[in-house]
Amino acid sequence: MTEQTGNLTFGIIKPDAVRGGKTGGVISRIIDGGFKIRGMKLIHMTLAEAQGFYAVHRERPFFGELTTFMSSGPCVVLALEKEGGAVKAWRDLMGATDPSKADAGTIRKEFANSIGENAVHGSDSEENAALEIAYFFSRLELVNGE
């Protein structure tokens, strides 16, 4: 495994998209977008696990809604690699947090319904990408992606 964290980001296909049968569609968009999948698994977070993942948002008014939703069903967690900066490339492919503001051609424009249930998550920085990948994946679960 290389240690070029700048080329890695973390993503989630959220419970609304998994429940709605969009997992394959989102993964197609990821592959067509030129990402290599370095880690991928289906999980169902407990409320405590969702609260730990989103701890940075614990003072926000939507924290309860967010963590209840994220623990409401299975989701797919992903470690994604892309040369030249995976964090920005994945955020560009996802589109704006609020799908009503997302550009045409983005995943959220195509698959998301609301700001709370917005189909996908992506890290906002290289530092958080490394922390978020480590929250969900052991080293053995990450491959070189060739």
Contact between 65 and ligand CMP by CB under 6 A: the answer reads: yes
**Burial readout 65-97 (b: 16 or more C-beta within 10 A, e: otherwise):** ebbebbbbeebbbbbbbbeeebbebbbebbbbe
Binding flag, residue 125, ligand CMP (CB under 6 A): no
Least separation, in Å, of the C-beta of 146 and ligand CMP? Answer: 29
Q: Is 135 in the site for ligand CMP (CB under 6 A)?
A: no
Query: Exactly one of 36, 38, 82, 121 binds ligand CMP (CB under 6 A); which one?
Result: 121
- Of the two residues 9 and 118, which places its CB atom closer to ligand CMP in the complex? 118
Minimal distance in Å, beta carbon 62 to ligand CMP? Answer: 4
In the sheet with 75-81, reading across from the earlier edge strand, the strands are 36-43, 75-81, 8-13, 120-122
Question: In 3-state terms, what secondary structure has residue 51?
Answer: helix
Q: Does 66 bind ligand CMP (CB under 6 A)?
A: yes
Distance of alpha carbon 61 from the chain centroid: 21
Which residues are at the interface with ligand CMP (CB under 6 A)? 57, 62, 65-66, 97, 115-116, 118, 121
